[in-house]
Amino acid sequence: MQTVHPCIILGSYALDADRLPEDEFKIRLDQAREGMEQAGLDALLVYGDARDHGALAYLTNFIPRMRWALALLPLRGEPRLLCSVSSRDVPAMKTMTWIEDVYSGWEWKWFGDWVGRVRGDGASRFGAVGFDLMPAGLLGDIRRDLGETAEIVEAGHVLGRSLETRRPRELMLIRSAAQIVNECAAIFVRGQRDGKPFETAALEAEGHARRQAAQDVRTLVSFDGGRNLEPFRGEFDATGTSATCYIAIKYMGFWTDAFISVGADQTKAIPVSAALRSLIDETKPGVRFDALHSLAAGHLGSLELHPVIQGSFGHAIGLSPSVGPGIRAGETAEITAGAIYSLQVGTRDLDGGCLASALVLARPDGAEVLALSVPQ
Amino acid sequence: MSDTVRARLDSTTAYLKENGLSGLVAASNAQNSFLESNAVFVLAGVRPIAESLVMIGKSGESVLIISPAWDVERASALARTDRVVGTDDLPSTAGAVAAQLSISSATAFGVGLTQLGHRLAGAIETAIGGPIKAEDNFVRDLARIRSAEEIALAREATRIAEAGYRALLETARPGMREFELAAEIYLKMKAMGSEDNFLLMSASQHNRAVRAASQRVLAEGDVILAEITPCLKGQFVQICRTAVLGEPSAEVAGSFQLLQKAMDAGLAAASAGSTVAGLTNSMNRVFVDAGYGDYCRPPFMRVRGHGLGITSNRPGDIDSKNEIVLEEGMVFVMHPNQYIPKVGYLMCGDPVAVTQRGAVSLATEPMQLDRIGV
């Protein structure tokens, strides 16, 4: 779900070595290096920016708060991290990653220095992850410094399913995140029932998450009974008998989200709830996305799909707000055991809309519901 | 903001005619930097959720192409362009709109395309017919002078920033974690209407720089640094403040006076017609004279201030290499923040507007070293 991106990501991002010890990252890097070896790569260059940094965060724990970062991971030897910050800010960046070799990306010599070292060791084939997001200027600098004889190949595949399926320590963090999003949904519902303005209720929900050390909180609110969702307006006087809100929370790197509808009319709420229930019931490893889509769409019948879900009844969620393809018509991807999915259903007409969601873990025997928001 | 945006659209049309250009393709990567122009906001009055474009043909017709498509109703209500189109396929829609407006890649210019992911930027250029000459400074220059509406918003945003700082002074206490304090400051300002905030807030007994809030627990004697930067309807402002949890030492108090002196020197030097380099040197001179000349460079400081997005980052970074001439109506933050070896990093700064009477702080409350009782 896309929301307005803030100018800087607030919240506490320092590496918590108790909950994510360095050996967790060693396991992840070893897996990546296996993939690199199989793909014949000498090094991996992993790019991420403030908006999208799933692979970068997975391998380094580093999340760019405002600009970009580039992890330089040789097949053998120590990794280096370049952050787009002033050298004044590098010590603070070091608290966010297990990598010790951290430099300002504004001093490009640190890239050239690393290239000289690995090229001297014979490296010639570089895997690129996240490069589609990279502005052309930076890409040009990288190509220039690697030299004409170096090969850069797309290498997102070397991480395999690791960005989708969750390891035990990750699951623990996601359960904490899911608890926060459940609490936030309850706060929004209570605020609406107490007659509070939409944005007041949403801000109270956001405040709860931020006080629990959420690293990022995004909200969208409806001012027209759920027909449209909008970014923050700062209009704290709008109220109504029905309310809809979207809230997304990042906690310890992991995203969770929820659509919350209160007071929607039953002609929408009943089929939306039924569609969501069917999705939860059928989210099992091996089930194809198009089959799930067909099932949920059947419950909605001729009702219009809410445009904010963009034709998809959900997707995997993790270090990025959306991981992999959506649960949409014609999509042949399958539910993967160990992955977390944000299931989303919604409809609207000229009078308003209704949305619902669930956060589920795909277990071998079916879906475990971690967070649930059905129409109230 | 309708008059301001419309005037900038008209100026752009005039520029196209004067230079025989077929059109402008202005892009936003939807990352709202407090240091940078958002070309789509400047030319349409809409802060987009995802990558979006404004295209203007030589006839003056303007089109906002907004993504995601579901955001089109909001965008249509806000936009000052002639038309608004919602899309989930930016390149193909850009190609179609370029054809409608007779924009040719060979005779058009682009703003902000260089900030998009190269894959998307390349697809947009291909859809329009080929590479487009980048003139990324165009919108920065176009919006460099704040309109009366924008200056009024900047004043209101400064009032919000000061309320945020008061929340810090009222809330901070030993035992509290930095992120908890940052949350209270942020929420206070959002409740007053601020849609975005570049907020750095951190504490230490000896700060090296300001940084984002962490899990660190506040303790008596901590020097709390706050870089509070709310955005109100597209106008970022920034105040930089320092407070001590408990009684400030004489050394901290004395060093802070040095920053205040540098701020005064900057305000005195920043008049229309003077250069940014000149005002920077005026501030630096205070530190040089006090024996800290070697510390007037990273990592001991970054710059002495900067322009403020998301309309225009002009006059740019306040540093000694910037020869941009200040003009009446420019708004920027002036902050002689400095690392002092004995006491650590200290912060002091206000948003200023260049007026006929010289540079004027937009702040209404005194910029002082504050003491928080424990």
pLDDT tens profile B241-274: 999 999 999 999 999 999 999 999 999 999 999 9
Which residues on chain B are in Cβ contact (under 8 Å) with A92? Answer: 209, 211-212
Closest alpha carbon within chain B to A235: B193
Domain-wise residue ranges, chain B: 2-142, 148-372
pLDDT of residue A231: 96
Does B227 have pLDDT greater than 80?
A: yes
Closest CA to A215 of A180, A260, A190: A180
Closest approach of A210 to chain B, Cα-based (Å)? 6
Closest approach of B23 to chain A, Cα-based (Å)? 22
Among 1.20.1250.20, 3.90.230.10, 3.40.50.150, 3.40.50.10320, name the CATH number for the domain at B148-372: 3.90.230.10
CB-closest option in A16, A89, A213 to B179: A213
Q: Do B302 and A132 touch (CB under 8 A)?
A: no
Q: What is the mean pLDDT of residues B40-57?
A: 97
**Cβ atoms < 10 Å from Cβ of B147:** 17
Asked if A241 has any chain B CB less than 8 Å from its own CB, the reply is no
Asked if A8 has any chain B CB less than 8 Å from its own CB, the reply is yes
Closest approach of A159 to chain B, Cα-based (Å)? 21
User: For residue B29, which amino acid is it?
Assistant: N
CA A372 from chain centre, in angstroms, equals: 18
Q: Using pLDDT thresholds of 50, 70 and 90, give the confidence band for residue B1.
A: low
Residue percentage of chain B with pLDDT more than 70: 99
pLDDT of residue A1: 83
Q: Which residues contact A242 (CB under 8 A, 6 or more apart)?
A: A225, A226, A261, A262, A263, A264, A265, A352
Q: Which residues contact B7 (CB under 8 A, 6 or more apart)?
A: B147
pLDDT of residue A148: 85
Give me chain B's average pLDDT, please: 96
Residue B233 backbone zone (phi > 0: left; psi -120 to 50: alpha; other: beta): left
Q: A89 phi and psi, to 5 degrees? A: -95, 0
Closest CA to A308 of A322, A294, A289: A322
Encode pLDDT of A173-188 as tens digits. 999 999 999 999 999 9
Residue listed under structure tokens 């951190």 = B202
CB-closest option in B50, B186, B298 to A88: B298
Does A160 have pLDDT greater than 90?
A: no
DSSP label at residue A352: E
Report the CATH architecture of B2-142: 3-Layer(aba) Sandwich (3.40)
Does A227 have pLDDT greater than 80?
A: yes
Encoded tokens for B105: 């890649």
Closest approach of A338 to chain B, Cα-based (Å)? 30
Q: Which residues of B266-299 are buried (b: 16+ CB within 10 A; e: fewer)?
A: bbebbbbebbbbbbbbbbbebbeebebeebbebb
pLDDT of residue A348: 97
CB-closest option in A3, A134, A228 to B73: A228
Encode pLDDT of A93-152 as tens digits. 999 999 999 999 999 999 999 998 888 888 889 999 999 999 999 999 999 999 888 999
Residue percentage of chain A with pLDDT more than 90: 88
Asked if A81 has any chain B CB less than 8 Å from its own CB, the reply is no
Does B303 have pLDDT greater than 70?
A: yes
Helical axes A198-211 vs B178-191, angle rounded to 10°: 170
Which residues on chain B are in Cβ contact (under 8 Å) with A7? Answer: 31-34, 196-198, 229, 231, 236, 309
Lowest mean pLDDT among A114-123, A331-340, B118-127, B354-363: A114-123
Q: Using pLDDT thresholds of 50, 70 and 90, give the confidence band for residue B25.
A: very high
Does B82 have pLDDT greater than 90?
A: yes
